[in-house]
């Protein structure tokens, strides 16, 4: 890829492991922890899309809590664990290669930013808790436009701020619908396929598919 000026990352599932909160409680939750974590994530995303369609916006933290309530009921998890799980969600663990790859990209003088459904305060805490606060030029939150991905309004924020062309941006996400959202907007979207998944049919083919962020360094 040539003439790339900015590299944008989705946060949840791409840089940070959304299952890590439940995994840290697996001794209490038991063998169902992974199914519970996946259900929580799926419900969380469904709520963002449904609320966008209904024009009934709630911020991502409130949606995270609402989706947790449903998930705990579905998996018969005692409500006494709610606050612990929410606190752990604020400080999700990054995937193991993230820090090293980001430092390498920073040295190459790219603009680096997160583009996420997360609230500004959530993103700040997430980055700070993982010692990444000096890496990113910006933390773009959908709260700036009041609607969730994959609305084009979300993907337009970095373009408006940086005054660059869409084709000068690389966007990475582990979520196929997010890759398609950014790609259909005009980004060079790369799919971080960490789990050997199948790509959705949403009128976009990723520019590249990688298994982890280390492989990005071979492309950029």
DSSP string, the chain: --S--EEEE--BTTTB-TTHHHHTTHHHH-TTHHHHHHHHHHHHHHHHHHHHHHT----HHHHHHHHHHHHHHHTT--GGGHHHHHHHHTTPPBPTTHHHHHHHHHHTT-EEEEEESS-HHHHHHHHHHTT-TTT-SEEEEGGGTTS-TT-HHHHHHHHHHHT--GGGEEEEES-HHHHHHHHHHT-EEEEE-TT------SS---SEEESSGGGGGGT-
Active site residues: 10
57/63 Cα distance (integer angstroms): 9
87 Cβ neighbours under 8 A, 6+ residues apart: none
Q: Among 91, 102, 88, which Cα is nearest to 9's?
A: 102
């Amino acid at each position: 890829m040539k003439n790339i000026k900015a590299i944008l990352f989705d946060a949840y599932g791409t840089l940070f492991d959304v299952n890590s909160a439940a995994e840290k409680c697996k001794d209490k939750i038991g063998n169902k922890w992974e199914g519970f974590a996946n259900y929580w994530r799926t419900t969380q995303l469904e709520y963002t899309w449904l609320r966008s369609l209904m024009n009934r916006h709630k911020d991502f933290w409130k949606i995270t809590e609402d989706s947790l309530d449903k998930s705990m009921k579905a998996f018969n998890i005692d409500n006494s664990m709610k606050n612990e799980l929410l606190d752990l969600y604020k400080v999700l663990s990054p995937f193991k290669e993230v820090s090293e790859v980001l430092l390498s990209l920073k040295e190459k003088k790219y603009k680096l930013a997160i583009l996420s459904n997360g609230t500004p305060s959530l993103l700040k805490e997430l980055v700070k808790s993982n010692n990444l606060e000096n890496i990113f030029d910006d933390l773009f939150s959908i709260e700036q436009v009041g609607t969730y991905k994959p609305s084009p309004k979300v993907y337009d924020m970095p373009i408006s701020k940086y005054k660059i062309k869409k084709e000068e941006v690389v966007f990475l996400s582990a979520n196929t619908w997010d890759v398609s959202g950014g790609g259909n907007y005009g980004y060079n979207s790369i799919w971080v396929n960490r789990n050997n998944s199948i790509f959705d049919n949403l009128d976009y083919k990723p520019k590249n598919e990688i298994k982890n962020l280390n492989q990005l360094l071979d492309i950029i």
